[in-house]
Structure 1
């Protein structure tokens, strides 16, 4: 039976534009106080009004991205500008660091301890600059990116809880996100800085955190890149490792680096073999590289973002290599994801399942889940499936 990649593309496009985006358009904007509500229940009703900078920024990015890449719909740009105004009015401290959370009116609740607020602000204003052409947004993106680089060696600064000098670790998250972030604002940066950041990002992800003997990426390593035998040092976050691989593939494709793409594919497959729940299906959230009990009590939950990011990586792996293992795993992960997370009745996706695959929290948005992973993932899958279909057609016709 011939696989109809166009059917997959249509499935993702329709879910994005007819279910997911309308859910956020209809339920999320706070037209009175500014910004967006992200704590939405299964029906889209607001159950908490706190505003988390990660999610405010991600939603600005999402509607700007849709405006730039799908269709220049005025309502999408209006929503992006609406969120950006709230962020510009309330989101930063006097030094330009982005807070973690605000109350509904925009007063700070949690200090700017988390550098990922800055990362997503860079993405948001970089994409909005492309959508609007307004220099002020480009300036904010550039200033924030410079701030990230200045904080990169000590991201939490004065807010770090770690005692200095005893067990100093470096974390995977920032090098991983920089691989994607720098491409978002490449037009705003010197070419040399972009290339230097990409080189460093690929090296750090694929050489420092990657453990060749196990075929896995660790979440934390010593400052010299060595393994540390403790809870944090043994931690594997399968979703992070696999998500990073499609960032790496995108970068390697631009450089025509097929060797790095193949390495990313192999790493993806080994991570899936390690983290797939062979009893109940789905990808486990956290694991210990030595098989010890993980510190995280939520280790066996199944999360939306892990699965949609894995689908993207497998689809891109198949597109770039034709490796049948990628396609077999893709179909397996797609089947699990589509049957467990997608809410065809009320729109959007559930985010949190228990190990057996039942909905654990009946929410569509909260402190961590917002308008980002699902729409970005559906867009990436839609376009990747179209690219696979086009490649297959060209092969047949050649």
Structure 2
């Protein structure tokens, strides 16, 4: 998917793919590995096996993603031949590496991949819950002490990933799953009326634009992570709470009633968000919204959730896919027109779209069988 593009060889807007010279995104490669192997496992189980490329991608990650083994940090950007270019001071490249290794373990049965997944998972937990200094983030005296919803969201997704079809891993990370769910729930603020992206360490709203920041797509994605957790816990009250507070409410506040689509960022007090791209319509919030509402409908049979799924799907499939050249655009302007013509970049890769399509297809199949 990565293509080198020089100034002397312009790419037509309709065929634009990844404008990253010859570098590869390690975070995205991990996402690709997870998604591709998951799809491959499904293909094998249904007799539709077509390729084993994901294992080659996994071997590439093992050889090159870890910046300086035995250190656990993973590169965010690599050269095409695997040399590290950039390392982020977050947990996210490592999280997607863990996903890829776990899926490879489940697809191949090779214990090397499971060891890699568990070792990295335990390192991530240490960074998050014990000591973050290994991430390399400077401890600045003036920096606000906040909890971002992205961290427990990502960990809860990993708990779900590693625990699928593996009772031992489910037991190992059961306490972590409960901790993650409680950490996410504390982002529900103002008497349960909205989800804030950042809160204080004690779970209260923080002052300023950082505290007022909302990301509707993130709330919806957290919603279906939490819904899967509630399903596993057989907790109907939590299911109902999550669907209302992390799906329906964020969607109605984040939907652009004039032009359609989900805003990228919002301000809880209706001030102008500080993010320059706040009113753009991105591929991934719409992908996550479709998963959330279809999953919610499959659990409740509430027709309102099915209507919301159809509303998002209609907007999404009318605007994001390039019907002539294939793949999806990632970035639309407020009016829903293509703003950036490339199909891939440091943040848009082979993850949200195939995960959405695969999960929605599986949910729809189950609904059809049940009916």
How far the C-alpha of 1:156 sits from its partner, in A, is 6.9
Kindly indicate whether residue 187 of structure 2 is the aligned counterpart of residue 209 of structure 1: yes
Report if aligned partners of 1:40, 1:365 keep a CA contact under 8 Å in 2.
no
In structure 1, the partner of 2:304 is 325
Report if aligned partners of 1:352, 1:359 keep a CA contact under 8 Å in 2.
yes
How far the C-alpha of 1:390 sits from its partner, in A, is 2.7
Unaligned segments of structure 2, at least 5 residues? 5-10
Match of 2:78 among 79, 102, 119: 102
In structure 1, the partner of 2:92 is 116
In structure 2, the partner of 1:176 is 153
Residues 38-84 of structure 1: CA deviation (Å, up to 9, x unaligned): x997536554221111111111111210111233666532x112211
Distance 1:226 1:163, change over 3 A: same
Residues 251-270 of structure 1: CA deviation (Å, up to 9, x unaligned): 21122211111111102111
Report if aligned partners of 1:142, 1:189 keep a CA contact under 8 Å in 2.
no
Q: How does 1:293-332 map to 2 (within 5 A)?
A: 293-332=272-311
Report if aligned partners of 2:265, 2:278 keep a CA contact under 8 Å in 1.
yes
Kindly indicate whether residue 342 of structure 2 is the aligned counterpart of residue 363 of structure 1: yes
Kindly indicate whether residue 47 of structure 2 is the aligned counterpart of residue 68 of structure 1: no
The TM-score normalised by the length of structure 1 is: 0.84
Report if aligned partners of 1:217, 1:236 keep a CA contact under 8 Å in 2.
yes
Q: In 2, Cα distance between the equivalents of 1:318 and 1:212? A: 27
Distance 1:131 1:29, change over 3 A: farther
Q: In 2, Cα distance between the equivalents of 1:368 and 1:164? A: 30
How far the C-alpha of 1:215 sits from its partner, in A, is 2.5
Q: In 2, Cα distance between the equivalents of 1:348 and 1:162? A: 41
How far the C-alpha of 1:333 sits from its partner, in A, is 0.9
Distance 1:364 1:303, change over 3 A: same
Q: In 1, Cα distance between the equivalents of 2:343 and 2:257? A: 27
SS in 1 for 2:259: coil
CA RMSD in angstroms, aligned pairs only: 2.3
Match of 1:143 among 119, 127, 134: 119
Q: In 2, Cα distance between the equivalents of 1:287 and 1:383? A: 32
SS in 2 for 1:71: helix
SS in 1 for 2:51: helix
Distance 1:42 1:275, change over 3 A: same
In structure 2, the partner of 1:159 is 136
Match of 1:263 among 224, 228, 241: 241
In structure 1, the partner of 2:60 is 86
Q: In 2, Cα distance between the equivalents of 1:137 and 1:118? A: 14
Q: In 1, Cα distance between the equivalents of 2:118 and 2:142? A: 33
Report if aligned partners of 1:118, 1:144 keep a CA contact under 8 Å in 2.
yes
In structure 1, the partner of 2:15 is 43
Unaligned segments of structure 1, at least 5 residues? 1-26, 31-38, 394-398
The count of corresponding residues between Structure 1 and Structure 2 is 356
How far the C-alpha of 1:160 sits from its partner, in A, is 2.5
Report if aligned partners of 1:218, 1:233 keep a CA contact under 8 Å in 2.
yes
Report if aligned partners of 2:17, 2:342 keep a CA contact under 8 Å in 1.
no
The TM-score normalised by the length of structure 2 is: 0.90
Q: In 2, Cα distance between the equivalents of 1:97 and 1:41? A: 36
Q: In 2, Cα distance between the equivalents of 1:115 and 1:390? A: 39
SS in 1 for 2:72: coil
Distance 1:159 1:332, change over 3 A: same
Q: Which has the higher contact order (CA 8 A, sep 6+)?
A: 1
- After the TM superposition, which of the residue ranges 184-193 and 143-152 deviates more from structure 2? 184-193
Kindly indicate whether residue 269 of structure 2 is the aligned counterpart of residue 290 of structure 1: yes
Q: How does 1:192-271 map to 2 (within 5 A)?
A: 192-206=171-185, 208-211=186-189, 213-267=191-245, 268-271=247-250
Kindly indicate whether residue 332 of structure 2 is the aligned counterpart of residue 353 of structure 1: yes
Kindly indicate whether residue 368 of structure 2 is the aligned counterpart of residue 389 of structure 1: yes
Report if aligned partners of 1:276, 1:283 keep a CA contact under 8 Å in 2.
yes
